[in-house]
Amino acid sequence: MSHETTSNIQAVPPLLSVQGLHVEYRTRKGPVRAVDNVSFDIQRNEVFGLAGESGCGKSTIAQAILRLHKPPAHITDGQVLFDMTDVLKLDKKALQQLRWEHIAFVSQSAMNALNPVMTVGEQVIDVMQAHRPVHRKQARQRARELFDVVGIDPDRIDSYPHQLSGGMRQRAVIAIALALQPELIILDEPTTALDVVVQKQIMEELKQLKDEFGFSALFITHDLSLLVEFSDRIAIMYAGEIVEIGSSRQIFTEPQHPYTQRLMGSFPTLHGERKAFLGIPGSPPNLLSPPTGCRFHPRCDVAIAGLCQEVHPDLFTVGDKHHAACHLVTEKDRDFQQS
């Protein structure tokens, strides 16, 4: 985790700026607000982590950034600025150029991302030739190099996806993602389907590749210990909203939102001491009719009676570029101002 670089890279304009993004699923029962007024920036060469329980909206954001979402999902408001260009306004051709060339996407299931009737090498070559005037022989040589880079024997480029292990398939997808040296790679639960040892190996390799290739990453996972280990900054999502955002160190050592605190207590750290896990009582709300006030209030054991059920908390500054959406934080600040 490169905390030292975080302060330096914050000063330059962001590579990606998501502003006021709203995504809803139009269902027969009514609109489900999967992503509700979400804003964050990703700097160049930064790993930005997005965490939260299943269904909190993190994968919907990943898909919306590249407009990969399909009906009934609809982007109803907001901006996705990549290098100052609004992705949501691009025509089809410009969008196709953006995908893989500038922003690559690595999803949870390599088997779904790969074409089962093409060799994995062909699929790398395909992506290269679709975007660049590269000769087939050169593309094949580049595919071999990329396989070597991601830790697969280059001779395996002639294998079909079903002939590779789960870890190798995921590495092959990462090789495709690296093929055009994009500025941003979206990693949507990239290792969730793999066993923990392979998971750790692939994350370590991705970190090295990031340093070597110099890309930024949006890293999405429900596994906070992995996220803290590999991200520079982190946003915590709950029920479609960002409830806390800060550096990995701030989120790890001084989480302010009760949900973040509970989430941190639910995972073992990769290198830390053994401890009892707290868990989070209850389950996330139905977004067809989310709770009034703070959406976490039905599960929050420190909710303020008469306030949390009624008033929606805004993101409040709690430290240097550290924000949390909780009335307890504003209450603390009021006490501080009055004293």
According to the binding rule CB under 6 A, does residue 302 interact with ligand SF4? yes
- By beta-carbon proximity to ligand SF4, the closer residue of 73 and 325 is 325
Q: How many residues bind ligand SF4 (CB under 6 A)?
A: 14
Q: For ligand SF4, which stretch binds (CB under 6 A), given 26-34, 41-49, 171-179, 289-297? A: 289-297
* Cα–chain center distance at 116: 26
Helix axes 166-178, 120-131, angle to 10 degrees: 10
- By beta-carbon proximity to ligand SF4, the closer residue of 49 and 313 is 313
What is the smallest separation between the CB atom of 338 and ligand SF4, expressed in angstroms?
Answer: 19
| Residue closest to 3 by CA, chosen among 255, 254, 249 | 249
CB 139 within 8 A of CB 125: yes
What is the smallest separation between the CB atom of 286 and ligand SF4, expressed in angstroms?
Answer: 17
Please, which of residues 313-332 interact with ligand SF4 by CB under 6 A?
Answer: 313, 326-328
Q: Are strands 73-82 and 103-106 parallel, antiparallel or unpaired?
A: unpaired
Look at residue 85 and give its three-state secondary structure. strand
Strand partners, 316: 324
According to the binding rule CB under 6 A, does residue 16 interact with ligand SF4? no
Q: For ligand SF4, which stretch binds (CB under 6 A), given 3-11, 14-22, 299-307, 314-322? A: 299-307
What tokens were used for 97?
């150029």
Please, which of residues 122-151 interact with ligand SF4 by CB under 6 A?
Answer: none
Among 38, 300, 315, 318, binds ligand SF4 (CB under 6 A): 300
Q: For ligand SF4, which stretch binds (CB under 6 A), given 27-35, 192-200, 265-273, 300-308? A: 300-308
What is the C-alpha to C-alpha distance for residues 59 and 62, in angstroms, rounded to an integer? 5
Among 296, 316, 318, 322, binds ligand SF4 (CB under 6 A): 296
- By beta-carbon proximity to ligand SF4, the closer residue of 118 and 302 is 302
**Virtual CA dihedral for 311, 312, 317, 319, nearest 10 degrees?**
90
DSSP state of 73: E
Among 42, 173, 224, 303, binds ligand SF4 (CB under 6 A): 303
What is the smallest separation between the CB atom of 311 and ligand SF4, expressed in angstroms?
Answer: 8
Residue with tokens 């330096």: 8
Among 245, 294, 315, 318, binds ligand SF4 (CB under 6 A): 294
- By beta-carbon proximity to ligand SF4, the closer residue of 144 and 299 is 299
220 phi and psi angles, rounded to 5 deg? -110, 125
Among 58, 169, 171, 297, binds ligand SF4 (CB under 6 A): 297
What is the C-alpha to C-alpha distance for residues 294 and 43, in angstroms, rounded to an integer? 30
Please, which of residues 255-274 interact with ligand SF4 by CB under 6 A?
Answer: 257-258
Q: What DSSP assignment string belongs to 110-170?
A: HHHHS-TTS-HHHHHHHHHHHHS---HHHHHHHHHHHHHHTTS-GGGGGS-GGGS-HHHHH
CB 86 within 8 A of CB 79: yes
According to the binding rule CB under 6 A, does residue 304 interact with ligand SF4? yes
Strand partners, 51: 236
Which residues in this chain contact ligand SF4 in the complex, by CB under 6 A? Answer: 257-258, 294, 296-297, 300, 302-304, 308, 313, 326-328
